[in-house]
A and B are shown apart, each in its own frame.
Chain A
Amino acid sequence: MANMFAFAETRGGELRKTALECVTAARQLADASGGGEVHALLVGASGIAAKAEQLAQHGADVVIVVEHAGFAQYNPEATATVAAERLKGGAYRAAVFSASAQGRDLAPRIAAKLGVGLVSDATSVAMEGDALVAQHPMNTGKLIATLTLTGSPAMVALRPGAIAPAAKPGAGRVEQAPPVGDPSAARVVVTELRVGNTSRIDLGEARVIVSGGRGLKAAENFKLVEELADAFGNAAVGATRAVTDDGWRPHTDQIGQTGRVVSPDLYVAVGISGAIQHLAGMRTSKTIVAINKDKDAPIFKIADYGIVGDVFDVVPALTAAVREARKAQ
């Protein structure tokens, strides 16, 4: 029986989906250890406590709420200090973070403060006896390392989307705690959050991603990808590095070795040949569909379903068919 810690990521006063993923993973670890408690840390400006309920619904036994005006934006130094203090005093066996942009910034700071090991971008995590064991894709996903962490707490940052949030309603005791020191006195300060196109769900949270490559021939043809994404409902739009380098899409849309790494339920690759650079970012998707005119394109080797054909012929037909299929439901 061991207690587990989960960090609940927020942005702009709202929980991120990854917060629920982390609580779910910590719940699974606690249950596997014979039923320890899950403590979730929720840090934010005044009022963030309202989000504790959602964490309790996913299996947090205790939600530690730290409210301060200095947490209105992500505050890396003060958040790391609060989390490290809590982890020092809590006798947690494992601490679960997300390998999101925020989690990748935060978790290593905390691990270094505590002097413990950290595995980032884990696709699964489990206890094996006294050790925490995590799987972690390496070398652009061409190898999977199984890593063993000794010491307590063992820290892990989970790949977003690798574990689906699971409801596990409980009472979820809320515990208000003060910040450690003055969060407003941090050296590193986020002065502004520029939110991009908010009409579409983020790549990391989408269950369906439609991505486009050079096969679309020109920036304006990306509307075919956008329309297919719309047909699926709440889908995100991604792109290859070739496309973002050419400025057809912003760099933040890039999926691949030097861009985002995603694991949606469905990944639709439109006019993408399947360079290693790109496969590194999407090969752990659950179902992969590829549409490409070159039957020898490497993307077909990892696609579950492929259509060989002109994207300008196939994609509009698929968009119409998906729209029909969803209307019929």
Chain B
Amino acid sequence: MKIAVCIKRVPVMEVRFAVGKDGASVDETGLKYDINDFDLWAIEAGLQLKEKAGTGEVTVISLGPDAAQEQIRKAISMGADRGVLLKADRIPADGFAIAQALAAELKDGGYDVILFGKISIDSANQIVGPMVAELLDLPCVTAISKLEIANGRGTAHRALEGAVEVVEFPLPAVITVDEGLNKERLPSLKGIMAAKKKPLDVKPAQLPELRVTVSRMALPPDRGAGRIVGEGSAAVPELVRLLQTEAKVL
């Protein structure tokens, strides 16, 4: 089984972010980076599909700066066979542009399954996977939390608001992965050693003209200092009064 997993290098979120000097970007000073959480589960899904099939290849593809080779190497050390970096100085805000560059790389790859994380936790658009599917005219199932593949067909569960959809589809297909499908494996020492010898191609990303651009980046409006109404159940009457008269939500 031939599998592609598209991953993204994203900042580690446990920091205070600042706005870049141009007022329309994220200040990258001091940020640490890792593979997007959902993409780790997509990698794990790809590795499990290959293991179950008993044969095949897992290719990890990322669009991003040169430094994203670090995340591709990590994916390879988890067990992927090879990597491709579509090099772009900046990851654009236009998800469709990203999808076009990825589709150009995936088009002639002969992949049975193309996996994505459901969403990237930094830009938080959740659109690239299904866009790639459309560009390649492949069936697509998004945000899956359960997956079975047999005889060239897949069955997946996807969580909706208060319900679960059971979805059937033929391969080849594009699948985006939600939390709950699996827990990702850690790179093994053997994997880390082997990763150094596995191929990682670097080529320029073919990005089209952008239709979506960031015109301004800002910190969220200050909610104002939180108010401690009081301690213990004695504070309940005052809280209820505030909810009725001030917040007007009761």
Contact = CB atoms under 8 A, between A and B. Distances in A.
A141 B223 CA distance: 13
Contacts of A120: 95, 124-127
A321 interface: yes
Given A136-B124, A143-B220, A287-B247, A251 B145 contact: yes
A305 B243 contact: yes
Contact of B240 (A115, A145, A202, A322): A322
Interface string B122-142: 111111111111110001111
Contacts of B215: 133, 146-148
Contacts of B121: 139-140, 257-258
**Secondary structure type dominating chain B contacts:** mixed
Contacts of B212: 117-119, 147-149
B1 to A, nearest CB: 19
A85 B245 CA distance: 50
Interface string B205-229: 0000011111111111001101111
Nearest to B159: A252
Contacts of A138: 26, 122-124
Contacts of A309: 231-233, 235
Interface in B108-126: 121-126
A308 B11 contact: no
B214 A102 contact: no
> How many of chain A's residues touch chain B, expressed as a range?
35 or more
Contacts of A195: 162-163
A188 B167 contact: yes
Contacts of A197: 162
A121 B124 contact: yes
A19 to B, nearest CB: 13
Interface string B168-209: 111000000001100000000000000000000000000000
Contacts of A133: 215
B39 interface: no
B189 to A, nearest CB: 27
Contact of A307 (B11, B19, B38, B230): B230
Contacts of A151: 211
Contacts of B48: none
B167 A189 contact: yes
Nearest to A151: B211
A116 B167 contact: no
B226 A145 contact: no
Contacts of B14: 276
Contacts of A107: 127
A155 B196 CA distance: 43
A276 B122 CA distance: 13
A287 B169 CA distance: 43
A195 B95 CA distance: 32
Nearest to B241: A325
Interface in A287-309: 287-290, 295, 300-309
Contacts of A259: 179
Contacts of B143: 101, 104-105
A53 interface: no
A288 B223 CA distance: 10
Nearest to A303: B226
Contacts of B142: 104-105
B122 A314 contact: no
Contacts of A188: 139-141, 167-169
A177 interface: no
Contacts of A266: 243, 247, 249-250
B247 A187 contact: no
A325 B244 contact: yes
A295 B139 CA distance: 51
A192 B158 CA distance: 11
A249 B214 CA distance: 38
Interface of A: 11, 73-74, 76-77, 80, 99-102, 104-105, 107-109, 111-113, 115-121, 133, 136-151, 160, 187-198, 202-205, 207-208, 232, 251-252, 254, 257-260, 265-266, 276, 280, 283, 286-290, 295, 300-310, 313-314, 316-318, 321-322, 325-326
- The 3 A-B residue pairs whose C-beta atoms are closest, nearest first, are A117-B211, A112-B134, A317-B233
